[in-house]
Structure formats: C-alpha cells, structure tokens
Structure 1
Amino acid sequence: MTQFKYRRKSRFSPARRIGFSLLASLLLLSAPGASVAQIPSKVTVAYSAVSPIFAGVWMAKEIGAFEKHGLKADLVYISSGSITVQAMVGGNLDMTIAASNAVVSSILRGAPLVAVGSITNRPAMSLFVQPEITRPEQLQGKVLAITRHGSSTHFLTLFLLEKLGLQDKVKIQPMSGTREVDAGFRAGMVAGAVRSMKPGPKGRVLVDLPDLGIPFSMDLIAVKQDFYKNSPKTVEGMLKAYIEGVAALRTRKELAYKVLGKYLLGGGDALDEAYEYAVKYLDRQARVEPAVIQTVLNWENKGETSVNDFFDNMIIDRIIKEGFVEKLYK
C-alpha cells in the first residue's frame, strides 16, 4: 500500500518569506556589535577667489579631511564674495567661505545666514601699485581695480581710500575676478589693486593693510540658519575638516606646495609667496571675533545693531575646548 506523507503548505508567499528574511537581517545588523558602512553625507562648499587665503579648504579637500568626518565634499569656485553669498541664499550650497562684508550685508538685508567661523580676523591684503607710484596722493585721478562690487577687494579699497583722504578722487574698476585684476595690472590698465599677492612682477606695496590695525575678517565661513539648526553635526564636521586643512599647511609643507600649485595654476617663486602668505594669515582656530562684525556694521552705518545677530561660535568653541585644534599641532 502506497503511503503518502502530508506536507503542510506554508501560509506565506515566497515574496513575503523574502521580506521576513530581509527584516531579520536588518535586525541582526542593528544589534549591538554589528556594523554598517555609513554613506558619507554629500556637502557643497563654495569659495570666492583664486587666492592662497583659501588654502585651508583646498588642503582639507586634498588630504581627505572631509571624508574623515563622514562627509563627501565638492568644492565650487564662484568669483567674488557677493556673488557667492547670493548663490548661497538662492541655491544648494551647504557652506560658503566669502567676504565678511558680503555676508554681514546680506544678513542685514534679511538673508537667513549665520557665520560659524572666520579664516582670519585681519585684512590680509596690500595695496599694490605700478612702480612709478611712490606716494598715495599720486593715485588721484587714476584707476584702482577690484574684482566685483560687494567683494572684499571693493570693501577694503573703499575703506583704504577713506583712510588716505582719497575718497571720490580715484576711479574704481570692477574686473570680474582675481585673474582678470592681475591681467589688467600687468597690462598697465590700472594704477593698482588691493590684492593678497603681487599682481605682477613690477608691482610694489604702497600700503600694507594689516598695519592699519583694522579688525576685519577676510572671509567668514557661513551656513544657512536652518541647516545650522537641523544639521549641527554636519556643520561641525565641515569646520573640523577645514581646521585640519589649515594645520596640514604647516605640517605637510611639500604637499601644501602641490595643492597650491594645483588651485592657483602656477608654480615657481609665486608658490613661495603663496605658502608664506597662507601660513602667516590663516588662523588656526577659525573663530569669529565680534570686532570684525562691528567693523562692517559701522561701515554700513548700522553700528548700533547687535553683533550677536550675525555669528555663532558655539561649535568652534566646543571644538577648541575639546582640544581638537591643539592635538593637530603635536
């Protein structure tokens, strides 16, 4: 007699059984001791000039500092601080490093931004002029180049002309970007320009702006207020990456020269000048000093406005207190 074995039919379809298996796997991976590879958060960081003042963020990108802090960063060059800030407000940038006057002015006009860092708290530029100019009064009736209206070069040129008693006596010519300013200077189209580096081999320093004792941030590190509120860990990671980049300039000099050559598209003696400039002026801690905000507010005739409406050092102060910066130089 033939015997048949009864096989109980499963109540669940194959698709549902696969679903249960996947759920079980996820529960196992989420258990203590299990590890899941995290996908880095993608961030876009904009800088506003081809200048060694941005060497810190370039180094951060090249040494993998952003990835170290769980971020995949794309660097975007947008000529001029004022344009960079506009792109920040209306676009998809996560962080911008742009002229402090452009950042502060935009916040005054309602832009939802906050400064979370400063790359340097003094005006790291000089007024370079043609070799035949030896005295400030010789600039009267001549042309000085800037990148764009609202840029740091524009702000500092106006500030300097007022200090020299040459306000409204010198023509200011926007040239679009730093490379265009340098080209115009070398061609003799302009008498001079406020620049971080010598715009041409014949250029000479007429005024060194740090000597004026003006508290001024060359560029503030700014983010949108809602991003700062909703993604503080991402902001912290970006700031730590930047600070590591600044440290690497000093501790990895050979690589720093290669990085400067890559982003400045140059070499030779210009790299020596660029490296010395970056090491001299870039602050190790990247902290915003209230006085640099006040300088811009005074210029905008808004000196009574509270500086605390424009920046927040909370994350930077915590990074410093934890000893993060100090450890990078040991």
Structure 2
Amino acid sequence: MAGPLKDLRVVEFAGIGPAPFCAMLLADMGAEVLRITRPGAKRDAHDILSRGRADWALDLRAGGSAERVLDAIAKADVLIEGFRPGVMERLGLGPAQCHARNPRLVYGRMTGWGQHGPLAHAAGHDINYIAISGALHAIGRAGEAPVPPLNYVGDFGGGAMLLAFGLLAALHEAKASGQGQVVDAAMTDGAALLSAMMYGFKSAGQWSNQRGENMLDGGAHFYDTYACADGKYVAVGAIEPQFYALLRERCGLAEDTAFDAQMDSARWPLLKLRLADVFRTRTRDEWCLLLEGSDACFAPVLDWDEAPRHPHNVARGTFTDVGGVVQPSPAPRFGRTAPVMP
C-alpha cells in the first residue's frame, strides 16, 4: 500500500452509499480496509465504491461472529458502520463492546438522521435528509418543483466526506489523549453544514427563499447553463466584473448597454433570454473554441462519456480505467505520499 494513510487500519461493515464511499476515500489514500460482507455477496467490478479493500464474508448473527470481529477490531484504528441506530449494539458490536477491546478505536457511525432525535429510527434516503436541511428547497428553476441533485449533497458531500473528516479529526485527537471516541455523522447535519454560506447570505438579506431568483441558483444571467445550436449545453459563471466584461466581449455584447447593470436582479430574466439567443447561434464546440480557457468563466457541460476524454481531465489523470471500468481517480493529490491507483 502507498499513500498518506498507509499505516491506518480500518474495519468497515458493508452497506450502501455514504459509508462505502467514506471507506473508499480512506482506501484510496492507502489505508488497509477490511470490509465485512454478507456470506454469498460477490464483488462486482462496476461497484466502484468497493474498490481498494479486502472482503471478509461473515454472518454477523451467527454464534461467535461478534468475538471474531472484536479480534479484528482490537488491531484496528477505525470502524465504519452505516446501520440504523441500535443495530450494532444488538450484534454485540456497539461502541461500549468495541472500546472495551480497543480504547483507541475511532468508531464512525454514518446515518441519515443521526444517532438521536425524533427521526433517528425512521427510514429515509438522501432526498429526505437534504429536504429538512433547507438545501433541497433551494435547488431548482423558478416556479418549478425542487430538483434532486442526484445524491451528491446528502450521501457523499454531507455524509461520507463529513464522516471522513470526523474520523481523521478524532484520530488526530487520539494521538494526544490515547482515547478513541464515537463520530456521529448525520447527513442532515452535513447537508446543513454545506449550506453555511447560503444561510449567511440569507441572514444578510442577500438570498431569497424563491428558487431560481438568486445569483448562484440560476437566477442570474451570468451564472447559468445555456443551450447551443446543436442542443448541447455550456456553463457560464462570470461573476466578477472583469470576467463579466470578457464574457460580453467574446459574445459580441460589449456595446449592448442593456448588459451594463450586471447586478440589477430585476433585469436578470430579460438578460437571460437575450444571452440564451446568443448561445443558440453556435454549436457547443464553436463556443469552446471562442471561450474555453479564457477568464470568461466558461465550460462545456459534458456527459459521463465525454468528461473522461476532456483534455484537462486527461492531463491531470482525473479518471482512470480499472479492468475496463472508467472511474474517478483518487483525489486530492499529494506531493510526497502519492497513493497508487486502485
């Protein structure tokens, strides 16, 4: 193993979504991750979230299984589980039992609602967790229903990455105290945390509850996606005045005084229509030749097949091919302790 976490030992209880993604992040960085799976479970090369770790098929409800797992936990630094509250305790593998065997263990718990609260024991998915955080309400077009942002905000951003951050923070603290602790990562908490800047804007009177009418939610003409002549899309985000001026210049709008009042939100709907007409005059590739790589804050909107072939992604090795399965490479990059590809 290689990478900045090459000396870290992790026991992961197999699940779906955020807990496996968190374990993948650690494995990508070189951690030795032992994943406990159900008997008969088979590894699928297309299950990218399971990469980089070994499987241990074990019936956790069978007699003696808890003791076998505790033997592994005694040698581990981190535990990751994503069951409903109380499940691990009923298996004899709750924090009390694990810390009795390994006081330094960092015990990571990944749930949607958290370990306590009125909803803690209810079923749910990403869309439900981001709904009560305020995040889902803010995503979508004006006058239309909220749009689920895939499961980026709850499962992966507010869930897995928050748990990974919490685990590493607890490991850092354990170096001084010699004591592990429970890290309770809830997707409701994480989705709310990801919304910190927007809550700040709202408090300052700079953000409205109305979807699609704010600067960063598609309300502004200079921060949105536009269809091109070939039906493909481009994305522009020219917020700063100098970048906005360059966008206008490249689009032939430098002398159009209607675009002078950039931050007048009352004019945004009309200016969006005007800019949409401009972008429909060329294909996406033609706009790339004119704008990509400039300070106009421009990018083509690429699909799953196009993104791995984009020259910038190729140059950085953003994607890799593992056994015929194209997938994102480990990130971020490290100057001395670079991890190996999965």
TM-score, normalised via structure 1 length: 0.21
Higher relative contact order (CA 8 A, sep 6+): 1
TM-score, normalised via structure 2 length: 0.20
